[in-house]
Amino acid sequence: MTTGIGQEREKNMEYDLGAEVAEWMLSQTGAPDGARSTTTLMGLQWDVFPGVWHPNPGTRLFTSWLPIADGCRLLEVGCAAGVTCVVAARGGCTRVVGVDIYPAATDNTRRNAARHGVAGRVEALTSDLFAELDEDDVFDVICSNPPLVKAPESRRIDTATEQMVYDPGYELHRRFFREVGPHLADDGRIYMLTSETLADPAELRKLAAEAGFTGRVHASEAIGIPAPVMGSTPAVVAAADEHGVVRVDFTMLEFQRG
């Protein structure tokens, strides 16, 4: 049986691991003045503009878990390089809109939509959440792979890349659920990525409930990251398995009205 002291140590270790993974995630995104690059994900090549969140295994899980169907109207909040928008359009969605607060991300989404032949079905808007949508824009699926880490409210955000990882006080998540309602079809669904390692799924479901949405787990999987890749810090080494791999979980929550 784990004592109170032991439980506190485990909790602190989990927090330390989450902080280490978050810092490693930050290091994977290029600086705004860096070079354009390409990467392969889900069997396709993607252009990645400087300062845009780099497509990664979490992006693959997020995109592959979405219930994309012919005729679906899909909105992605935080479109980054446009992977999800492009896959949705290729998968039969009749209207796909990606919004992102960073102009480089919306430019990047348009570039990858053109690269993969779906420019006519993908619209990218530079927008703070839903601000640039028309009042009558309604979608069957609204999805978001948001800044995962629920940082303390006092956490300073000094760079754009930090804003992609940290959400102090979960203020962005709170705003999302306050503002999403008018844009969700009556029988529509919201899909959001979270993580026990990096985030706070229970708090996320609480925020959704306060806004009138019920949530459930839609899909969950852990991704293995070799400890040396993340620097083999004490928290990372302590979390690694016998093969030196750290398992970082990702969960997609589904929300609906009521």
Angstrom distances, CA of residue 234 to CA of 226, 237, 243, 248, 255: 14, 5, 16, 16, 37
Phi then psi dihedrals of residue 141, to 5 deg: -130, 125
Bridge partner residues of 193 (DSSP): 252
Write the CB contacts of 109 (distance below 8 Å, at least 6 apart in sequence).
Answer: 79, 80, 81, 82, 85, 86, 98, 100, 122, 124
Low-confidence ranges of the chain (pLDDT < 50): 1-14
pLDDT at position 95 is 96
pLDDT at position 243 is 92
Separation of alpha carbons 104 and 97, rounded Å: 16
pLDDT at position 10 is 40
Separation of alpha carbons 164 and 75, rounded Å: 18
Q: Are 183 and 138 in contact (CB under 8 A)?
A: yes
Q: Are 124 and 106 in contact (CB under 8 A)?
A: yes
Q: Provide the residue range defining the domain that includes 64.
A: 4-257
- Give the CATH number for residue 244: 3.40.50.150
pLDDT at position 221 is 96
Phi then psi dihedrals of residue 189, to 5 deg: -135, 150
pLDDT at position 44 is 97
Number of domain units in the chain: 1
Q: Give the DSSP letter string of 121-178.
A: GEEEEE-STTTTS-TT--EEEEEE----B---TT----SHHHHHHB-GGGHHHHHHHH
Of 172, 150, 1, nearest to 101 by C-alpha is: 172
Helix (H, G, I), strand (E, B) or coil at 23: helix
Q: Are 37 and 48 in contact (CB under 8 A)?
A: yes
Identity at 16, one-letter amino acid code: D
Separation of alpha carbons 207 and 203, rounded Å: 6
pTM as predicted: 0.90
pLDDT at position 229 is 86
Output the six-digit token pair for 208: 């959704």
Identity at 97, one-letter amino acid code: V
